[in-house]
Amino acid sequence: MANVGVPVTPADRVSLFLTIDGVELVNPDTQINKRKKPKLVCNTSAGENTASLAGLLEEFVNMEGSEVLICPLCSNSRGITDPTQGKDASAEEIHNLFLFADKVIDF
């Protein structure tokens, strides 16, 4: 949970940059977002299903200091014109995202 009322410093910001198939997380037409009962994909150590991808993304978006940026080439190639979360990043935003990042995690 986010610490409501706590000032956000640059080190507290977390950006999620969606590329390639990752943009399907914000595609309103994908099965991930069309399911009436989202498929739970995350498990506890006891093997209990706890969260869906859409649910995890929603929690992330609601955290203070978070942002979702989308590769515009990846979203355009998939016909995503109205993403469920985030926004298409400009070339400058993508450049600055990596240039000024304290840490970059890629997988």
SS3 51: strand
> pLDDT tens digits, residue range 25-78?
999 888 777 777 767 777 666 777 777 788 888 888 988 889 999 999 999 999
- Alpha-carbon distance of 70 to 89, in angstroms, equals 6
Domain boundary assignment for the chain: 13-99
| 66 backbone dihedrals φ, ψ, rounded to 5° | -100, 155
Q: Say if CB 97 and CB 104 are below 8 A apart.
A: no
CB 68 within 8 A of CB 13: no
In this prediction the pTM is: 0.75
